[in-house]
Amino acid sequence: MDVYCSRCGEPYDVFSLTDDMTKEERADFHAGRGCPCCRNTPDDAIDLSERQKDLLTVQSALKTVLGDDIDGLAAELEDLGF
């Protein structure tokens, strides 16, 4: 089950958030400052498709409801077909 970077839409398995990212990368990811793929990329260089924009809008709304429940967020996104 995946969650997505709020800047570039890159999918990340829930386990990679704890196993593959450093504390700083994880903090940036959760704060919406990007992931290892887009951390040093200017905002104007990131081009999202309409589907990615929709996905990130839905993810943002779910994060508001679910808070820090990353497993729940990933499950809800999967149930919605993302």
Which H helix or E strand runs over 13? strand 11-13
Q: Kindly state the DSSP code that residue 45 receives in the 8-state scheme.
A: G
In the prediction, which pLDDT does 39 show? Answer: 86
10 backbone dihedrals φ, ψ, rounded to 5°: -65, 130
In the prediction, which pLDDT does 82 show? Answer: 83
Domain positions in the chain are 2-79
32: tokens are: 């919406």
* Threshold 0.75, pTM exceeds: yes
76, 66 Cβ separation under 8 angstroms: yes
Q: Tokens 């958030």 — which residue? A: 17
Per-residue pLDDT for 75 more than 90?
yes
Burial of 78 (0-12, 13-18, 19+ CB in 10 A): exposed
